[in-house]
Amino acid sequence: MNEDALIERAKAYVAAVESGATGAALAEHFHPDVVLTELPNRLVPGGATRDLAAILEAAERGQRAVTEQRYRIRNVIARGNQVLLEISWSARLLVQLGETPVGSTLRAEIAAILVFEGGRIREGRNYDCYPPF
């Protein structure tokens, strides 16, 4: 698969997450042996490594925590089977987060590296940077 096609696959994945896809609609973007790593950040201080089942469960949890997710892709670079995305993210909280009340907008700057195999995401690393909240 060429780099332009991988960029389109990466953008389709981001659009699916933004629209709140769960279950099979989300799983179709991933290789069955996917491993996603979320590096330590304000929401996940210890970081996390997730397989497909954990990714799908996290998506369900996320729907209970936030709504109106927006992913603005600021930059995208592909090389070989990898796509690097720079994203500005925002969402409205459905739950209180520390001192941040329900209904507040949460924001983050994200760098995501996606490695594809067979046209699906086989590996991913997310670097999510949240401002103080």
Condensed to tens digits (0 to 9), the pLDDT of residues 32-84 reads 999 999 999 999 999 999 999 999 999 999 999 999 999 999 999 999 999 99
User: Measured between alpha carbons, how far is 23 from 37 in angstroms, rounded to an integer?
Assistant: 19
User: Measured between alpha carbons, how far is 80 from 25 in angstroms, rounded to an integer?
Assistant: 26
Strand order in the sheet with 66-79: 48-50, 30-38, 120-129, 105-117, 82-93, 66-79
Query: At 133, is the pLDDT very low, low, confident or very high (cuts 50, 70, 90)?
Result: confident
pLDDT value of residue 20: 95
* Unique residue bearing structure tokens 């996320």: 62
Q: How much is the pTM?
A: 0.95
The identity of residue 108, as a single letter, is: A
Q: Which of 113, 129, 109 is nearest to 121 (CA)?
A: 113
Domain extent for 65:
3-129
Domain CATH number, residue 40: 3.10.450.50
Helix residue ranges, H only, 1-133: 3-18, 23-27, 52-65
User: Measured between alpha carbons, how far is 60 from 118 in angstroms, rounded to an integer?
Assistant: 26
Copy the structure tokens of residue 118: 């067979």
How many independent structural domains does the chain possess? 1
